[in-house]
Homo-oligomer: A and B are copies of this chain.
Amino acid sequence: MTETYRRIVLARRPVAMPQESDFRMEEASIPRPGDGEVLIRNIYLSLDPYMRGRMRDVKSYAPPQQLDEVMVGGTVGVIDSSNNGRFAVGEFVQGMLGWQEYGLSDGSGLRKLDPSLAPISTALGILGMPGMTAYFGMLDLGQPKEGETAVISGAAGAVGALVGQIAKIKGCRAVGIAGTDAKCRYIKDELGFDAAINYKTTGDLREAVAAACPDGVDVYFDNVGGPITDAVLAHINFRARIPICGQISQYNNETPELGPRIMPLLLINRARMEGFIITDFAERWGEGLTQMGEWLAQGKLKYKEDIVKGLENAPQAMIGLLQGANFGKQLVQLGEMP
């Protein structure tokens, strides 16, 4: 008897906000590893905003997601069977196996995880891509200095929550912008942000930023773009640094949204705005992991996960992520721990 597993492919390219019908669940026989290959049973799948960009058939920093192919995605799982001497059955690995319950790998791109050091799910969060994004984006591009003010949009998200805590470690005033009162309370009361703004209920966002940043904004770490970013840019200081990490408010636009031109602001303030992609820092991943792991062990960093169970719920969770419905790092649990 052949066992089967489930996987989700992109059925068609979404227009504006993705719909569940843009994805298709498939069932297939669990494959056997070929020479040099391992079979991995995935336990957690990471859902991340970048996936929306991949669904679009345009030039970007990575090739587009192909139609009828398994959706891309970071995963952690356990070696189920192995024809590769580097990996033993039962070992945990992080990889890019995608939206599926099982996957084959030749071992390239797999990173072994030690579950005694940290829960394996953290390899998709604080000790994975979002953590490294926060670390290098904030420190290398944001260059926070003691006494400065850092504003973070998407502040309760997987990256934003860490950026604000890094700002605090570096001695900054940290101001977060998020979309619910619960998220605002969380980043203030549990993560130690100095101020939080609920952009959905604040009357005048520009005034709210001014009130929360009496000394102006030195670093603006932008995850969302759009009118939130307009409101923050109105208050940047001389030599402000603006790492562009994400623009989630814009990902579902079919044509570029109009907004006030920002170049005069950058000019007057000699400000620097810079987009970055975490893969650019691949060679320094070890440095980031070491430091983030240390801060985590010292209790200086906290994290929160938002876990939905079952691959069948991945499309809806992805849509929720694009709408800000998640509270913490969005994961899908595909299977149980061994």
Contact = CB atoms under 8 A, between A and B. Distances in A.
Interface of A: 53, 59-61, 222, 225-226, 229, 238, 244-247, 250, 256-277, 280
Contacts of A61: 238, 268-270
A263 B238 contact: no
Given A238-B61, A260-B256, A261-B259, A275 B266 contact: yes
Given A273-B274, A275-B270, A257 B260 contact: yes
A256 B268 CA distance: 13
Contact of A263 (B59, B222, B264, B270): B222
A281 to B, nearest CB: 11
A267 B238 contact: no
Among the interface residues A61, A247, A261, A276, which one has the most CB atoms of the partner chain B within 10 A? A261
A254 to B, nearest CB: 12
Contacts of A275: 263, 265-272
Given A61-B238, A267-B277, 4 more contacts: A259-B260, A266-B275, A270-B277, A274-B274
B250 A261 contact: yes
B261 A270 contact: no
B270 A272 contact: no
A259 B258 CA distance: 5
9 contacts: A222-B263, A246-B267, A247-B267, A256-B261, A258-B260, A258-B261, A263-B273, A268-B275, A272-B273
A259 B257 CA distance: 8
A60 B267 CA distance: 9
Nearest to A267: B275
A250 B270 contact: no
Nearest to A266: B275
Nearest to A229: B263
A132 to B, nearest CB: 15
A29 to B, nearest CB: 38
Given A238-B61, A246-B267, A261 B272 contact: no
Nearest to A61: B268
Contacts of A268: 53, 59-61, 275
A4 B167 CA distance: 60
A39 to B, nearest CB: 35
A277 to B, nearest CB: 6
Nearest to A270: B275
Nearest to A246: B267
A244 B267 contact: yes
Nearest to A249: B261
Given A61-B238, A61-B268, A263 B276 contact: no
A330 to B, nearest CB: 20
A226 B264 CA distance: 10
Contact of A225 (B247, B264, B269, B280): B264
A279 B214 CA distance: 27
A265 B263 CA distance: 14
Contacts of A259: 258-261
